[in-house]
Structures are given as C-alpha cells and as structure tokens.
C-alpha cells in the first residue's frame, strides 16, 4: 500500500504558518533542499489543499524556465510537472485537468482508495487543513517535521482537533546547517 507522507516546516512552538498564513520565518538551504529531493524521488503523487495548490501551481510549472532558476527550482519544477496532483477542494471539484484531480466529496474514502492503488508514495507539502483532516481520519503514515528555530506564539497549528491519541514511532532526526532539525515519525 502507498504511504501518505507529510513534509512540513513548523516553529518550535508548533505552528506551520503565522496568523495570516505567513511563512517568512522558514529557514532553508541547499542541504535541506537536497534532502527533501529524496522524498520526491520516492513519490509520484502530491496532495494539496486548494490554497497550497494555487500557490504551488502559480510558481512550479514555469520555475525551471526563469533566468535565475536554481538547481532546486529546475529539479522541483520537473517533479511537479510529472506527478499526479490531488487537490482537496469543494469549490474546485469538477475542474479536473490533465495530471490534476480535485476531490470535494467523500474525501477520506477517495484518498483511501488512491492509497490502495499501485504507485509510489503520496507527498503533502504544506496544506495544514488537509493534514488536520487526514490526521483525524488516520490516513497519514509518516510525518517529516522540519522544526525551525523560531517561536511565534500564534498562527496556524500543526495539529488541531485531535480527538483520539495518535501513537507514533520516532524514526530519525537530522540537523541542517541552516538551524532546522528534521524529525521523522511514522504512525504505529
């Protein structure tokens, strides 16, 4: 069965974005980009919420074509264009296009069916509302949390409305020169 893997930057106090969705606190460098590239090598599907999808789709399809495109821009743009994109959105449901499927109804059932299909892993970059929902439904298999050395005190939390305990196994920690620590957990 395919796994759903979350890759999310978080603050030390557990937020994934500021109160208005700000992400200007995220630290990264080439080492971290190269590390995350290993996730994309193992995935053939990306799963997004509407807001994250619109942000990603406005940048990644043409990122490699920019005159100042970095190695990461070229690599991730190539991956983004090649993978299936699943978008959880009631408002965009029915607007499927090649390589992109919008899921607006029976979300948990449809995602469970997709997990059962042959293929590589399914990656979630960002999309906190989707992560909240799928965590609540028990559909996320692995969490890669990239803890940034910052406290915000408020914002969009990584975990929200957890009504039952979710037991995790700690698998790995990785520190990066930019000050970020990656923590890898899998659902028991």
Give strand ranges (E) for the chain. Answer: 4-11, 15-17, 43-49, 84-88, 100-103, 121-125, 142-148, 156-157, 168-175, 181-187
pLDDT higher than threshold 90 for residue 55: yes
**Contacts of residue 133, Cβ cutoff 8 Å, sequence gap at least 6:** 88, 107, 108
- CA–centroid distance for 165 within its chain: 22
Give the residue among 118, 135, 99, 100 at the shortest CA–CA distance from 5: 135
Alpha-carbon separation of residue 100 from 19, 32, 53, 147 (angstroms): 29, 27, 10, 30
CA dihedral (121, 114, 145, 181) in degrees, to 10, reads: 10
In the prediction, which pLDDT does 31 show?
Answer: 96
pLDDT higher than threshold 80 for residue 156: yes
The tokens for 32 are 């971290």
pLDDT tens digits, residue range 117-142? Answer: 999 999 999 999 999 999 999 999 99
The tokens for 12 are 């030390």
Q: How many residues does the chain have?
A: 188
pTM of the complete model: 0.93
Query: Tokens 């500021």 appear where?
Result: 18
DSSP assignment letter at 14:
S
Q: Distance between CA 51 and CA 71 in Å, rounded?
A: 25
Question: What's the chain's average pLDDT?
Answer: 95
Q: Which domains does the chain have, with CATH numbers?
A: 4-187 (3.40.430.10)
pLDDT tens digits, residue range 69-115? Answer: 999 999 999 999 999 999 999 998 778 789 999 999 999 999 999 99
């Amino acid at each position: 069965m395919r796994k759903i893997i979350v890759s999310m930057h978080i603050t030390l106090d557990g937020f994934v974005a500021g109160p208005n969705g700000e992400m200007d606190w995220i630290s990264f460098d080439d080492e971290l980009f190269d590390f995350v590239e290993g996730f994309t090598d193992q995935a053939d599907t990306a799963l997004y919420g509407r807001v994250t999808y619109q942000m990603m789709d406005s940048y990644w399809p043409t990122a490699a074509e920019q005159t100042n495109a970095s190695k990461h821009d070229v690599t991730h743009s190539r991956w983004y264009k090649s993978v299936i994109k699943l978008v959880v959105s009631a408002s965009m449901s029915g607007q499927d296009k090649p390589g992109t499927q919008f899921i607006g109804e029976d979300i948990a059932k449809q995602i469970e069916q997709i997990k059962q299909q042959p293929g590589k892993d399914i990656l979630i970059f960002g999309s906190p509302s989707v992560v909240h929902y799928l965590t609540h439904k028990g559909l996320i298999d692995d969490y890669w949390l990239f803890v940034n050395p910052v406290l915000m005190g408020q914002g969009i939390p990584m975990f929200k409305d957890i009504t039952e305990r979710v037991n995790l196994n700690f698998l790995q920690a990785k520190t990066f020169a930019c000050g970020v620590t990656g923590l890898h957990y899998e659902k028991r």
